[in-house]
Amino acid sequence: MSRSLLSIEELGVDGVQRVLELADTMAEVNRRPNPKVPALRGRTVCNVFFEDSTRTRLSFETAAKRLSADTMTFAVSQSSLNKGESFRDSIETIAAMGVDAFVIRHASAGAPWLVEDWTTASVVNAGDGWHAHPTQALLDVYTVRVALNRTAGFDGLRVAVVGDIKHSRVARSTTTAFKALGADVIWVAPTTLLPPVVGETATDRLDDVIGDGVDVLYMLRMQNERMTEALVPNLREYTARFGLTPRRAACLAPSTIVMHPGPVNRGVEIAIDLGELPGSVVKQQVTNGISVRMAVLYDLLSANPNSTSDIEINDDVAAAPKEHP
Amino acid sequence: MSEKRVLEPDDVRRAVTRMAHEIIERNQGLDGVVLIGVQSGGVWLASALGAEIARIDSAIPVGSIDASLYRDDIGLRPVHPAAVSDIDFDVDGATIVLIDDVLFTGRTVRAALDALGEYGRPKAVQLAVLVDRGHRELPIRPDFIGKNLPTSGDESVSVTADGVVIS
Amino acid sequence: MSTILISGGMVVDQTGARTADVLVADGVIVESHDGNPDVTIEATGLTVTPGFVDLHTHLREPGKEEAETIETGSRAAALGGYTAVVAMPNTDPTQDCVSVVDFVRRQGKLAGLCDVHPSASITVGRAGHQLTPFAELAEVGVRLFTDDGNGVQNPLLMRRAFEYSKGLGITMAQHCEVEQLTDGAVMHEGDCCSHLGLPGWPAVAEELMVHRDIELVRLTGAPAHFLHLSTAKSVELVRRAKSDGLPVTSEATPHHISLTDELLRSYAAIYKVNPPLRTMDDVVAVREGLSDGTIDAIATDHAPHVAATKEQPLDLAPPGMLGLETALGVCLAHLDMSVSDVVAALSWKPALIAGLGGLHGRPIVPGEPANLTVFDAEEEWEVAPAQLASKSRNTPFVGVPLRGRVKHTVLGGVVTVENGVATR
């Protein structure tokens, strides 16, 4: 049981499984007419976004509210960081207001680890630089788990992550999560968009990967500034080599799942209407994001008491047996 | 710690049969009656009662509910949902028999009642437990009891179809 | 001036090692003198050597006095056994003209803890466009020129700098980094940075400039000094240049012989430095370079930063580590070299490179200036940041076992450190 969720590595395989199972419970809550439970009443979750990401922030905010936690938002544009207040001061000031969990998005890799050092609150990494985005990875594997009904794990599942892996926290975390559950992951990218040292199987031939058969095709977002850094010549060539074009889509097995962390750069990495892709689970990823983030917040905050309490625990659950016939 | 077996498997079977009869009798039949077991200890008992009621009279819907997210001790100790709630029938206007294995402080039942409210507005909720061990901390009283079992607060009561053990 | 007796120590200098008393009178080592000495330093079991000379110290004054002043930096230097330091010119204003250089020298004299020898920048404002007045600066005693913090990017400008420096008795000292290859970089490019998702500083960015400047030395005949070599290939390039007979010298830092990029996994900016901590293979190669003399000197690259700036994510924190007070302890603990060879790299070899060979790093014989360091070569210790004399606390050596600790330092016949405590 950990206090914070900083990376998939630190969460570990058991932790991933625990969150996925909790997410099933949360998904059931989200299917109800009134998708709200009182579980985290009285807890405060502060979204601290030093980098703009409306989608992730809304997802966390919704998740916290459905668990009845109070939420605060600290976005850098409205902050005093511009007035020279230090990162540490900002965090310690917010912590002093009584926060149970920080959800941190920062453009700098490693920032959530610093926050964890400075506070006793739980810390959730909502994306740090190019490094990690563990809740995205969890919602990705949860989506595949639900779509393929694979609750036992992903042994033998073939996953291809395609695109700008070098600059992608999503690629790093999602690869780790898929592999933790037993999947085989291959990276598909030109060398310029791979990290300097590649620890995974990698290729620059998407057609071969599709031809060999793939169960999950994970398309990454391609950003325009990569052109000016001479990492790829132009978007036309990128799409021709690494995009999901109508021709490639036609080659996919009907059972292949297509994923994307959003927002999709239409016409670039996915050059086909998602509605025409029967295997697309992009919308499910967004929906599942709420359940998974609820699971994460509940997992951390139900284990990290915000106050030392003298309340005597004298309850019937304590008497419940471990197993039932 | 010493163990004391207070109910044998046959005792449990007889208690279930008696409770099934009582449920039918109290409700003057089974019209609108559904069973919902409380995760995790009440689920096996709900299915056992459901099977017994079906044998005696006719089959009625059986579901389960996990009340973890409604508990009042989250954060005071680890509270993990045991399984996803499974209520695939309409509870609006139904007479729900809420089922748990052991009734102790009453806090689990309180949480389960809150959770049930999210699924609709039942006509009535009744409570069935195999063992009532006393020490209530909330004004909650069972409608159907398999066995009243005086215990001390620090004892642990284990209930399965194989019997009831105090340790 | 007082007389000092350093009794019973193991005297180690370029002439060899022997157990001997050392007598000092009027700032000079003497054979004998009348009467009892004013100060007696009991040095039995200790090592007595010429004072250390640091080729690479950032004293931060003028401009960043909140991180270090010439006085606090001088005190840290004295405690580390240094009797002379070369002050790096990346101050604000830059040490690119006589007035700023004079200011730094004067502040050093006022502090009186260490000889502070300013270097000057190669280009005005270290901007890489216009040469500084080399001859004027040489006239007031500047011997090393460097844009440290940055390398001179323009090869034509660097060629002109070498050519113009010839005959002035000065040396160009290069911070080797091709900046187009290190844009945004925060750590060594390799396995670790790939995993951490941090922009990498590739070894080739250093090696390309080492190679360029070696070829410019070959072309122009002017001498060059390479600052803080950090990669195996850089060491090999300098080794070959020396075997070709080219007038090149080089230095390595204590942190590049003891720490690796793996430490960055903690995301602690205390381990961010430029050039970055590299791999164990590089560490081993740099140690070998020191052992075989390819690398002439150990230089600290002492770079103080206030705590708040290091309490930031890696990409936002400034690079740099403290070094003066831990250099000896790190070197003796991590180098498989004799005490004499380590002291050579800390004292008389850098003294020659800095153009201070007449005053510092001299043999310990009568008639020579009394710039001396007395240390316990065996003492094992750990650094406590709160007890550092430096105004900053950014030492990366917390928890690193150190061996060898300075006990006494004598500057020009004046005791600046006595029993590990600065006297002023």
Q: What is the CATH number for C133?
A: 3.20.20.140
What is the reported pLDDT for B2?
A: 79
**3-class DSSP state of B78:** coil
Task: Report how many Cβ contacts below 8 Å link chain A to chain B.
Answer: 101
CA A265 to chain centre: 19
Q: E strands, C159-313, where?
A: 171-174, 187-188, 200-201, 224-226, 248-252, 297-298
pLDDT at C326 over 70: yes
Least confident of A54-68, A182-196, A219-233, B43-57: A219-233
Determine whether the interchain pair A320/B102 forms a contact, defined as Cβ–Cβ distance below 8 Å.
yes
Beta carbons within 10 angstroms of residue C330's beta carbon: 26
The CA–CA distances, whole Å, from C286 to A56, A62, A223, B118, C151 equal 46, 54, 40, 69, 20
Q: Give the mean model confidence (pLDDT) for residues C31-52.
A: 94
Q: Which chains touch B (3 or more CB pairs under 8 A)?
A: A
Report helix angle A169-180 to A134-147, nearest 10.
50
Determine whether the interchain pair A129/C191 forms a contact, defined as Cβ–Cβ distance below 8 Å.
no
Active site residue ranges of C: 301
Per CB-CB distance under 8 Å, the chain C contacts of A50 are none
Q: Give the mean model confidence (pLDDT) for residues C345-368.
A: 97
- Residue C317's pLDDT band, with cuts at 50, 70 and 90, is very high
Per CB-CB distance under 8 Å, the chain A contacts of C195 are 172, 195, 199
- DSSP conformation letters of B7-50: E-HHHHHHHHHHHHHHHHHHTTS-TTEEEEEETTHHHHHHHHHH
Q: Do residues C161 and C122 lie in contact, with contact meaning Cβ atoms separated by under 8 Å?
A: yes
- Residue B153's pLDDT band, with cuts at 50, 70 and 90, is confident
Written as one letter, the residue type at C38 is D
Q: Locate the chain A residue with the closest alpha carbon to C316.
A: A108
Q: Which are the contacts of C258, defined by CB distance < 8 A and separation ≥ 6?
A: C283, C330, C333, C334, C397, C400
Q: Which are the contacts of C106, defined by CB distance < 8 A and separation ≥ 6?
A: none
Which phi and psi (to 5°) does residue C130 adopt?
-130, 135
Instruction: Using a CB–CB cutoff of 8 Å, tell me whether B144 touches chain A.
Output: no
More confident residue, C220 or A230: C220
In sign, the C-alpha dihedral spanning C361, C365, C369, C371 is positive
- List residues bridging with A101 in a β-sheet: A45, A122
Q: Give the mean model confidence (pLDDT) for residues C272-290.
A: 98
State the nearest Cα–Cα gap between A183 and chain B, in angstroms.
25
Chains B and C touch (3+ CB pairs under 8 A): no
Q: Which chains touch C (3 or more CB pairs under 8 A)?
A: A
- Its domain, for residue C351, covers 51-361
What is the reported pLDDT for A309?
A: 36
What is the reported pLDDT for A79?
A: 52
Q: What is the pLDDT of residues A299-317, one digit of tens each?
A: 999 976 543 333 444 444 4
Instruction: Using a CB–CB cutoff of 8 Å, tell me whether B64 touches chain A.
Output: no
End-to-end CA distance of chain B: 6
Per CB-CB distance under 8 Å, the chain A contacts of C267 are 109-110, 113-114
Total domain count, chain B: 1
pLDDT at C263 over 70: yes
Determine whether the interchain pair C311/A88 forms a contact, defined as Cβ–Cβ distance below 8 Å.
yes
Q: Which are the contacts of C305, defined by CB distance < 8 A and separation ≥ 6?
A: C67, C317, C318, C320, C392, C394
pTM of the predicted structure, to 2 decimals: 0.90
Chains A and B touch (3+ CB pairs under 8 A): yes
What is the reported pLDDT for B55?
A: 96
Determine whether the interchain pair B161/A34 forms a contact, defined as Cβ–Cβ distance below 8 Å.
no
- Its domain, for residue B143, covers 4-151+160-166
Total domain count, chain C: 1
Residues of A with CB under 8 A from a CB of C: 86-88, 106, 108-111, 113-114, 128-132, 169, 172, 195-199
Does C375 reside within a domain?
Answer: no
Task: Give, for C372, the enclosing helix (H) or strand (E).
Answer: strand C372-381
Closest CA to A46 of A94, A109, A114, A118: A94
Q: What is the pLDDT of residues A68-104, one digit of tens each?
A: 999 999 887 645 555 556 888 889 999 999 999 999 9
pLDDT at A319 over 60: no
Burial class (CB in 10 A: 0-12, 13-18, 19+), A87: buried
* Helix, strand, coil abundance in chain B, percent, nearest 5: 30, 30, 45
Q: Do residues C74 and C370 lie in contact, with contact meaning Cβ atoms separated by under 8 Å?
A: no
Q: Give the mean model confidence (pLDDT) for residues B5-18.
A: 93
What is the reported pLDDT for A277?
A: 87
Per CB-CB distance under 8 Å, the chain A contacts of B40 are 320, 324
Nearest CB partner across the interface for B43, out of A304, A313, A324: A324
Q: Which are the contacts of A101, defined by CB distance < 8 A and separation ≥ 6?
A: A43, A44, A45, A46, A69, A121, A122, A123, A124, A297, A300, A301, A304
Task: Report how many Cβ contacts below 8 Å link chain A to chain C.
Answer: 67
The CA–CA distances, whole Å, from B92 to A98, B96, C190 equal 41, 10, 63
Interface test with B, best of A34, A68, A145, A315 (most B CBs within 10 A): A315
Instruction: Using a CB–CB cutoff of 8 Å, tell me whether A304 touches chain B.
Output: yes
Q: What is the pLDDT of residues B123-139, one digit of tens each?
A: 999 999 999 999 999 99
- Which structure tokens are listed for A270? 């996915």
Q: Do residues C375 and C49 lie in contact, with contact meaning Cβ atoms separated by under 8 Å?
A: yes
State the nearest Cα–Cα gap between A141 and chain B, in angstroms.
19
Report helix angle A282-301 to A134-147, nearest 10.
120
Per CB-CB distance under 8 Å, the chain C contacts of A128 are 197
Does C215 reside within a domain?
Answer: yes
Per CB-CB distance under 8 Å, the chain A contacts of B135 are 314
Q: Do residues C304 and C322 lie in contact, with contact meaning Cβ atoms separated by under 8 Å?
A: yes
Q: Which are the contacts of A58, defined by CB distance < 8 A and separation ≥ 6?
A: none
Does C407 reside within a domain?
Answer: no
- Residue A2's pLDDT band, with cuts at 50, 70 and 90, is low
Whose tokens are 């006297």? That residue is C423
What is the reported pLDDT for B163?
A: 87
Determine whether the interchain pair A316/B106 forms a contact, defined as Cβ–Cβ distance below 8 Å.
yes
- Which structure tokens are listed for A269? 């990495």
Per cent of chain C over pLDDT 90 is 97
Does C167 reside within a domain?
Answer: yes
Q: Do residues C399 and C382 lie in contact, with contact meaning Cβ atoms separated by under 8 Å?
A: yes
pLDDT at A320 over 50: no
Q: Give the mean model confidence (pLDDT) for residues C165-174.
A: 97
Domain of B117: which CATH number? 3.40.50.2020
The CA–CA distances, whole Å, from C83 to C59, C62, C346 equal 15, 21, 11
What is the reported pLDDT for A82?
A: 54
What is the length of chain A?
A: 325
In sign, the C-alpha dihedral spanning A151, A156, A158, A161 is positive
What is the reported pLDDT for A304?
A: 63
Average predicted confidence (pLDDT) for chain C: 97
Chains C and A touch (3+ CB pairs under 8 A): yes
Angle among Cα A33, A38, A42 to the nearest 5 degrees reads: 140
What is the reported pLDDT for A312?
A: 42
Does C176 reside within a domain?
Answer: yes
